[in-house]
Amino acid sequence: MALATLLATSVQAGPCAPKIDRVQAQVDARIDAIAGSGHAGIESRAARLHYQPTPASIAVAERRLDESAGTRRALGDLARARKADREGHAQACEAALAEARAAIAP
């Protein structure tokens, strides 16, 4: 997913794009940390049948554990930053990035 995000930002990169990329990397690292140290959920029937998890099933499980609310907010903030950057609104981009950083702060 991060690669797709990186490709999308480099195609329509504005002056705020390097900062967006840095914050995206911070959010990705936070997501990895949560995934690596989070609580275990109840194993689903599909998991017991040895089905591979999908991104959607993983997202549902994480929502049930409610460990990723900050990262979800940060991803929304990053989307707003990208939109502001494409539209040339530097202050709005900076504000959205500040909110993204705050959302993933420990």
How far is Cα 17 from Cα 44, in angstroms, rounded to an integer? Answer: 40
pLDDT-based confidence at residue 73 (cuts at 50, 70, 90): very high
Average pLDDT over residues 51-79: 78
Task: Please tell me the distance from the alpha carbon of residue 32 to that of residue 83, in angstroms, as a whole number.
Answer: 25
Say if residues 70 and 47 touch (Cβ distance below 8 Å).
no
Instruction: Enumerate the domain spans of the chain.
Output: 17-33+43-104
Distance between CA atoms of residues 106 and 104, nearest Å: 6
Q: How far apart are the first and last CA of the chain?
A: 23
1 against 17, higher pLDDT? 17
Task: Compute the average pLDDT of residues 15-21.
Answer: 95
